[in-house]
A and B are shown apart, each in its own frame.
Chain A
Amino acid sequence: MTESEVAQQSAEQPTPGIVPAANRTVSSGRRAILSVTDLKKYFPVKSSGLIRRTVGYVQAVDGVSFEVAEGSALGLVGESGCGKSTTGRLITRLYDPTSGSMMFEGKDLAKLSAKAMTPMRKEIQMIFQDPYSSLNPRHTVGTIVGTPLRVHKVVPEKQVLTRVRELLEVVGLNPEHYNRYPNEFSGGQRQRIGIARALALQPKLLVADEPVSALDVSIQAQVVNLLRDVQNEFNIAFLFIAHDLAVVRHFCPEIAVMYLGKIVEIGERESVYNHAHHPYTQALLSASPDVKQAAIGGRRERIRLEGDVPSPINPPSGCRFRTRCWLAQDICAKQEPPLLQIGKTHKVACHFAAELGNHPAKPITAPLLGTDDQGNHAPGSSPVEFSTNPGYDETWFDLKTKTFGNR
């Protein structure tokens, strides 16, 4: 395994060792199909005027690591501007990453040339949010769904149409409609066309970027069920990007919560939704309106976050959430909280990680970072080396005993 080549001007970032994805397993015991380590994407911000100098960077994605298991689904949630869509576009290589690695089938997608990437595109397909703008209005459905087949020469030209009709049938459309144009279909049907196009090459990984948020409520359920059917039938892994916590919870056994380019909490559904340890996750969960709760009377107290997400051009020092966090103390401005594994399949990046209402008064991370409780370097104590493993380790930091181990 080679050392990760850090592209362009990011010498200050440490280069993490790449762990071969194939040798490890993820939570469900399944093999990791995609293993992303310390992925970064900085967009340059240019000055105005004749000489357009780079005056800064939008740190859209700043060092995220995660794994997607074969045939499973990882949900990426977060508010607009948190970098979840950029992450999806990096994995499909619609953007070139600034640094980091994306191991897929033993190859690092981050380093492949455009030419070497071509065969990989068969394996990784994408479903887009807006079924109106992601289909060419001047092409028939047959052309749209058939194009990937022709480009990759998967089937001989004569069989393209047969295959297209099969695909249309799989996604629940009338196979005889291959000759129609996208404008003749409703939003839900168009999204089905987008799904048929993504399925055409029988990918192993599908990046679904807000696949249902543009659809009507009654249609959303149809599309979510369809995605689940194709996942089970073809054993496709999903990177499911959405802002709707309920939909993500429904679809994904594993969930990563992003805030301003970083993963703040990642874990199995049950850990993240029922035992959220990061204040941002807790705020997100409390803010999403819950029909049943309201119906039967017990309304959950909303955690009211003040203000908006800060600019990713000049993110807050230390913990990026601290400007809106009600727990923030001195250490949060000085030290960035490490993404610490606190359970078998649960990681969280917070100095005061705990379930809602039980947040400790003192930072749990101070002894690990080798600082005092205010975040200043404490003489004599050395920081613990944190694992850069995109998956989960055998041992983790136990919040009760404040030691590493496994129970």
Chain B
Amino acid sequence: MTQTNEPAPQTGTGGLSEPTDGAATDPFLVVEDLTVKFPTADGLVQAVTGLSYSVEQGKTLGIVGESGSGKSVSSLAVMGLHDAKRTQMSGSIRVGGKEVLGLANDKMRRIRGREVAMIFQDPLTALHPFYKVGAQISEAYRAHHDVSKSVARTKAIEMLDRVGIPQARTRVDDYPHQFSGGMRQRAMIAMALVNDPSLVIADEPTTALDVTVQAQILDLLQELQKDFNSAIIIITHDLGVVAEMADDVMVMYAGRAVEFGSTRQILTHPEMPYTWGLLSSVPDVTADPEARLIPIKGNPPSLLKPPTGCAFHPRCPHMDKVPGNLCKTTLPELTPGEHGEGHVKRCHLPDPSAIYVQEILPEIAPDLVEMTINDQFPQKTGTGLVGDSPSDDALPKER
């Protein structure tokens, strides 16, 4: 990896460049001030605005947001998959030190699939129905390696075997429709990893799958990440998936990052009302079933004409705590959070931690209030058997 002349992180976005242990490894992917706009018949859609983040080798970044928050658009930009004629892009995307934004198509093609690969949401539409699974994987391999068909085929079999397809030697000649949903997603992962990419972007990789299969695929991704030491960006709307997979989380709303931090920071000390809304609107399997869900009122805004000031203000229940009309008039900068380095949020609220502990947490998880105030959570143990983790006792039990 070449050393880049990386500009000093600007104030406000500094946290998104992960300064914590930057000395050890240089971030493989650096996105700076990325803006993506689509001109349409109705006007200019501001899909992504001023987005900056970075991902290191071997780490996983989770991007969370609703449909239309710009999470997929920003990662398609990293892959160089936007049609340059129909898209206005500005900013900088550096992959392994190379600037890829605005790169000519033939040059981009050398990076795409080789250094950055993508796993799509729906494996049935992402795989070509007309070609054998093995042929599609070997094609991806031969696009970047000058090898014979038989060598590529051997590689395809090896990859299928690696991702846990039984009888890979015979299944390599199957068509996608002969695979089950989980197997198709495995084949997609095999195709993405066949060139040993340094960055894998997984766009809702398990949304189309059943929960037991989802668990298999998430385990597989984590396992493969250990083996290949690749960076992973996992795009999802499911906070549960992020909680289990990601090292860092970026919450997006209306095309901007609204909160960024380590998974722990985001899940235990969220400081942005939108993140609170996401956390409290999902029921979880331990919460009081009779409690009402607390939804976020209203609908996601139109990106043709995003709200002024903070884009979340029309839906935000905490606007009255901000003096004046600040939320409506001024876009909040990304400012450091109160719990540890690297945590930033885009919000005017003066004392978000207090509001979270006093108003939000008692509603969604009263048992966690104490722990949150003292910031004493059990250390993440990775895996533990049901019942032997100390936190299990802390969770509400219904007799």
Residues of chain A having any CB pair with chain B under 8 Å: 79-80, 186, 188-189, 216-222, 224-225, 228, 243, 245-247, 249-250, 253, 269-270, 273-274, 283-302, 304-305, 308-309, 356-357
Is B385 in contact with A291, judged by CB distance below 8 angstroms?
A: no
B143 within 8 A of A: no
Minimum distance in angstroms from A145 CB to a CB of chain B: 20
List the B side residues contacting A79 at CB < 8 Å.
Answer: 210-213
Which residues from B are CB-within-8-Å of A294?
A: 240, 243-244, 263, 267
**Segment 362-391 of B: residues with Cβ below 8 Å from A:** 365, 368, 371, 377-387, 389-391
Residue B45 at the chain A interface, CB threshold 8 Å: no
Which chain B residues (238-270) contact chain A, with CB distance < 8 Å?
A: 238-241, 243-244, 263-264, 267-268
Given contact pairs A220-B282, A302-B219, enumerate 11 new A-B contacts (beta carbons under 8 Å): A217-B66, A273-B285, A290-B286, A291-B267, A291-B279, A293-B395, A294-B243, A297-B378, A297-B381, A305-B216, A308-B183
B interface residues, Cβ below 8 angstroms from A: 66-67, 180-183, 210-216, 218-219, 237-241, 243-244, 263-264, 267-268, 277-287, 289, 292-297, 299-300, 365, 368, 371, 377-387, 389-392, 394-395, 397-399
Whether A292 touches B66, Cβ cut-off 8 Å, given contacts A219-B295, A301-B385, A301-B386, is no
Known A-B contacts A246-B285, A294-B243, A308-B213; A225 and B293 likewise in contact (beta carbons under 8 Å): yes
- Across the interface, do A293 and B182 meet the contact criterion of CB distance under 8 Å? no
CB distance from A122 to the nearest CB of B (A): 30
With A221-B295, A249-B285 known as contacts, the answer to whether A288 contacts B211 (CB < 8 A) is: yes
Say whether A296 contacts B268, CB under 8 Å: yes
- Residue of B with least CB distance to A187: B67
Is B385 a contact of A246 with CB atoms below 8 Å?
A: no
Contact at B398–A274, with CB atoms within 8 Å? yes
- Check A293–B281 contact: CB distance below 8 A: no
- Distance to closest chain B CB from A77 (angstroms): 10
- Find out whether the CB atom of B264 lies under 8 angstroms from the CB atom of A295: yes
Cα distance, A228 to B283, chains bound together (Å)? 14
- The interface centre, meaning the residue of B216, B237, B379 with most chain A CB atoms within 10 A of its CB, is B216
Can you list 12 A-B pairs, Cβ within 8 angstroms, ordered by A? Answer: A188-B299, A217-B281, A217-B282, A249-B289, A253-B289, A289-B214, A290-B243, A292-B287, A298-B381, A300-B386, A304-B216, A305-B216
Partner of B284, one of A290, A298, A305, A357: A290
Complex Cα–Cα for A398 and B268 (A): 42
**Distance in Å from the Cβ of A183 to the closest Cβ of chain B?**
13
> Quick one: closest A residue to B297, CB to CB?
A222
Report chain A residues within 8 Å CB of B394.
296
Q: Is the CB of B377 within 8 A of A296?
A: yes
Asked if A295 and B268 sit within 8 Å, CB to CB, the answer is: yes
